[in-house]
């Protein structure tokens, strides 16, 4: 321990509600950075005591509940929006968040998710798009890029066999009950700051009782992409963001 630290002020470190532990994430996985975004936003909004998180199946499952000190439940694959609906209806003053991956939200969970949006539930969904199914070994996801090789698209995703990649915030933005829909990344410090702003807006829509908020994070999966953490950053800049443009697709303060 350095004695000089006594004359210093800590300006950055582990968020207060981040549980100090060896996380389950792979080296270079952006889940850990996104977990910091979630912690800092919850702390800044002052909702740590009212927050209830629901983690989907996949890397969300072991990661988020173990690293963020709020109430958590894990959910069966794809079902978080339905479970969150009930929890929010029973505890309307709670801040209810779902954290889900590509398959959980975009494949099996699409029905549950769409209907929660239709109902205009006052919830917030954090959607992790890393274009593969990470936990199960790197299979194709609804968000896999055309031409991208995965363990179930060994020659690259083709339109004929697997159709087109899924753009969820754009779809959500067309639905009336949605108050905020955006896409961001954490692959650079500037984007980290923008991501925090987006998530803060999304959760504020819930706190103000306006409508559903969804924030998609385009993120890296080093084992799934078979790239090292630094190469993943380039893959995001050069390939992922071509398919998945960043920005806000809907941001309303009132639903007419």
Partner 1 sequence: MPKGKIKITEEFCKGCQLCIQFCKQGCIEISSDRYNPNGFLLPDFVNEDDCIACGICAWMCPECTIDVYKYIEE
Partner 2 sequence: MSERLLVSGNNAVARGAIQADCKYFFGYPITPQSEIPEYMSKELPKIGGVFVQSESESGSIYMVYGGGLAGARIMTSTSSPGFSLMAEGISYLAEQEIPAVIVNVMRMGPGIGTGGQGGQTDYLQVTKGCGHGGYKNIVLAPSSCQEIFDQMQLAFYLADKYRGPVLVVTDFILGEMEEIINIKTHEFGSLPPKEWALTGKDKRGGERAIHVAAFFSYLGILNYHMKQIEKYKNIQETEVRYDTYLTDDCDMLLVAYGSSARIARGAVDMGRAKGYKLGLLRPITLWPFPSDALVQHAKKAGKVLVIEDSQGQLVEDVKAYLDSDIPVHLLGMWGRHNAGGGGIIHPERIIEEVEKING
List interacting residues with partner 2 (CB under 8 A). 48-52, 54-55, 61-62, 65-66, 69-76, 79, 82-87, 89-91, 94-95, 111-112, 115, 119
Q: Which contiguous run of DSSP H or E holds residue 206?
A: helix 189-207
CB of 189 to partner 1, least distance (A): 5
Asked if 36 is part of the footprint of partner 1 (rule: CB under 8 A), the reply reads yes
Q: How many CA atoms lie within 13 A of 65 on its CB side?
A: 18
- Please, what is the Cα angle at 20 between 68 and 1, to 5 degrees? 150
Asked if 3 is part of the footprint of partner 1 (rule: CB under 8 A), the reply reads no
CB of 91 to partner 2, least distance (A): 6
CA 111 to chain centre: 18
Asked if 27 is part of the footprint of partner 1 (rule: CB under 8 A), the reply reads yes
Q: Which contiguous run of DSSP H or E holds residue 97?
A: strand 95-101
Q: Give phi and psi for 7, each to the nearest 5.
A: -95, 20
Q: How far is CA 86 from CA 94, 138, 202, in A?
A: 12, 32, 20
Integer Cα distance of 246 and 161 in angstroms: 27
CB of 8 to partner 1, least distance (A): 4
Q: Which of residues 81-140 bind partner 1 (CB under 8 A)?
A: none
Nearer to partner 2, 91 or 176 (CB): 91
Nearer to partner 1, 13 or 154 (CB): 13
Binding site for partner 1 (CB under 8 A): 2, 4-5, 7-15, 18, 20-23, 25-33, 35-36, 186, 188-189, 192, 229-230, 233
């Amino acid at each position: 321990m350095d004695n000089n630290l006594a004359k210093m002020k800590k300006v950055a470190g582990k968020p207060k509600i981040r549980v100090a532990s060896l996380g389950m994430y792979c080296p270079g996985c952006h889940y850990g950075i996104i977990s910091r975004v979630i912690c800092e936003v919850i702390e800044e909004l002052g909702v740590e005591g009212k927050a209830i998180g629901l983690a989907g199946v996949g890397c969300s499952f072991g990661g988020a509940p173990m690293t963020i000190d709020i109430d958590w439940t894990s959910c069966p694959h794809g079902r978080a929006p339905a479970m969150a609906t009930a929890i929010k209806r029973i505890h309307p003053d709670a801040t209810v968040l779902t954290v889900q991956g590509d398959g959980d939200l975009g494949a099996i969970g699409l029905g549950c998710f769409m209907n929660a949006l239709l109902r205009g539930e006052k919830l917030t969904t954090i959607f992790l798009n890393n274009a593969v199914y990470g936990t199960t070994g790197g299979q194709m996801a609804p968000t896999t890029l055309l031409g991208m090789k995965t363990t179930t698209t060994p020659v690259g995703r083709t339109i004929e066999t697997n159709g087109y990649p899924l753009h969820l915030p754009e779809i959500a933005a067309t639905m009336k009950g949605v108050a905020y829909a955006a896409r961001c990344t954490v692959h650079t410090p500037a984007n980290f700051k923008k991501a925090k702003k987006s998530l803060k807006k999304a959760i504020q829509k819930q706190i103000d009782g306006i409508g559903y908020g969804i924030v998609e994070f385009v993120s890296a999966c080093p084992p799934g992409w078979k790239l090292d953490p630094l190469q993943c950053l380039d893959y995001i800049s050069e390939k992922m963001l071509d398919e998945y443009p960043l920005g806000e697709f809907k941001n309303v303060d009132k639903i007419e």
